[in-house]
Amino acid sequence: MVMETVDKILVKLGASDIDSSIGEVLMEGIIFAFREQTTDYDDDVILNGFCVVLNALHRDIVRPYLEQIYLMMKSLLNEKDTKPAKVVQQAANLHARVTWECRQEELKEELLSEFPHLIL
């Protein structure tokens, strides 16, 4: 519910008033929420909210978190036997969106080489 609220606020009002310190707290929060999701529901609220935040925030705020996001995706994909299938698929989808938005294609290529069964 919190992610959906953040999503709607950023879509309606934008992120121009979000400074770097608030942006950092927001990034830490969405990374934590994504990593800790445990349900296997068909709702993409967390995935979509994560992407809205990434697109809304200034690149200077997001860029330091790219490696942490990548490592989180890799960790979730490695835990595919203990995580719900939907969470693992969302991890792959989020990684694809992050690499596309940030033009970090080398990260996407590395992910695909380690997990060739994924469709990104």
Q: What is the pTM of this model?
A: 0.73
In angstroms, the CA 49 to CA 4 distance is 6
CA–CA gap between residue 2 and residue 7 (Å, rounded): 9
How far lies 37's CA from each of 16, 82, 120, in Å?
28, 12, 21
Nearest to 47 by CA among 10, 4, 103, 78: 4
Q: What is the pLDDT of residue 90?
A: 83
State pLDDT tens for residues 34-74. Answer: 888 877 565 788 888 888 898 888 878 887 887 788 888 88
